[in-house]
Amino acid sequence: MYIHLDRSSATPLWQQIVNEIIQKIHSQKLHPDDQLTPTRVLAQELNVSRSTVQLAYDELLARGYVSTSRRGGTKVISSDQYTASPPHQSEPPFPPPIRPHFEEAEKQMDHWLSANHFHEKLDIDFRHQEPAIDEHFQNIWKRSLMKALQRLDMKNWGYSSPHGLWEVRSEIRQYLSVERGIEVEEDQMVLTGGTQQAIDLISQVLLKKGDTIAVEDPGFPGARLSFMHREMNIHPAPVDEEGMMVNTLPQQTKLIAVTPSHQRPTGVCMSVNRRQQLLKFAVSHQSYILEDDFDGDYRYHGGPLPSLFSEAPELQSLIQRQLPIMEQITLASFFKEGEFTRYVRRMRQLYKKRQAAMMEALLAHHFDKHFRIYGTDTGLHVFLEGTPDFDEKGSIEAAKAAGVGIYPLSPYCFESNRKGLLLGFACTDESMIQEGVRRLKKILHI
């Protein structure tokens, strides 16, 4: 389903999608019972967030143009009320609700997502936003699902604790204790549907409009944009070789969002001294620390770095909404049968080989003489920092022309003007890593 979006228009993207689909219905390019493209697929085709497409489909449903069902998806419905001419494209039938900062946050999120995804299929893609999901993982997840179904208790299908099923929290508690040295109780844990939901929940419960939030710069855009949507005062804290620069934090900082074990995206590990500075700041200023340990399990020399929480274990429990039951039960089985621990250890060995291949290739082709290389010991990507005048866009386009996908640092920056390239190795085998780096050497004239 072809839809044209004008990103320079003042009309929100979701509204443009609504208008285009209504136009297609009135012009009979879409007929009754025609199925609309699934939200995930259309989001990829249009290079927008899935929530944007879902908002458009919800609007079409509310206005009676489509129907939706679990099996049939979203379909155009039959109506005698369709007129020969659709409503004017630039004039929605009613003004959208006022959502402070939503459009700007959504626009920046779409920019970040599009900068980290190629629509074209490339020979070698150094994507860094996802782990390697192979047939082995699919098989062990299926086994966990079957075991969960076999011992399924029907009472689990009712409303359970908003903190998440106790069985899941118990298994996670044990894993954190044994593998990460983090001691918590089940009632101190809250399960969420992902990082974005967790951040939004924290914003609702612990913070208020106008609070000062410190975020890493460069840093994970999802955190910054979530706080911006909640009308927080965002303070970008620079990142150097030791991690977030704590001495730049304002006195009134209410919450500090940080990725200490493997800074996202530069890959640096927060030094011991910087960790202590951060903890002392939080205690003396009564600030919260939001620690995102998104890939800290994957360290290739020694065990995972200790979390900030393990050094100062004071955690406040929160309340959150109901999570999908089947996924929780399967996850509990995944932990209970030891599948998760075995999987992490297996993938750590796989990623260690790929990380070694990446570093060997970069050094063999003298990338270290032209870039500062970060993130070489932990995580799933490396960061090549260039000079302030480094041409990110030109390098990425040249690499794409040679069939290689590389990714820019700039979408992660708020006020920072640092430049460079992000190269993930999780989803690329050793031979392809070596070939990809060889091509990059030629492209970048190293």
Residue 362 lies in a domain: yes
Q: Which amino acid is at 418?
A: R
Q: Are 372 and 311 in the same domain? A: no
pLDDT tens digits for range 392-433: 999 999 999 999 999 999 999 999 999 999 999 999 999 999
198 token code pair: 């967790």
- Cα–Cα distance measured from residue 400 to residue 115, given in angstroms and rounded to the nearest whole number: 13
User: Do 227 and 258 have their domain in common?
Assistant: yes
SS3 state of residue 175: helix
* pTM score over 0.75: no
- What CATH number is given to the structural domain containing 238? 3.40.640.10
pLDDT of res. 396: 94
The upper half-sphere exposure of residue 312, i.e. CA atoms within 13 Å in the direction of its Cβ, equals 16
Kindly provide the residue ranges of all beta strands, DSSP E only, lying in 52-156, ordered along the sequence: 66-69, 73-76, 124-125
Q: Which residues contact 38 (CB under 8 A, 6 or more apart)?
A: 73, 74
* Statement: residue 96 has pLDDT above 80: no
Q: pLDDT category, 154, cuts 50, 70, 90?
A: low
How many CA atoms within 13 Å lie on the side-chain side of 434? Answer: 7
Q: Is 83 exposed, middle or buried (0-12, 13-18, 19+ CB in 10 A)?
A: exposed
Provide the β-strand partners of residue 237: 216
Residue 130 has a pLDDT of 80
pLDDT band at 95 (very low <50, low <70, confident <90, very high): low
Pair 128, 178 in one domain = no
- 280 is a domain residue: yes
Residues 6+ apart with CB under 8 A from 210: 231, 232, 233
State the average pLDDT over residues 190-196: 84
β-strands 212-217, 288-291 pairing: unpaired
What whole-number distance in Å separates Cα of residue 411 and Cα of residue 316? 32
Residue 201 belongs to what domain range?
A: 137-336
User: Read out DSSP for 67-83?
Assistant: EEETTTEEEEPP-TT--
pLDDT of residue 262: 87
Lowest mean per-residue pLDDT among 197-201, 286-290, 352-356 = 197-201
Are 359 and 326 in the same domain? no
The mean pLDDT value of the chain amounts to 85
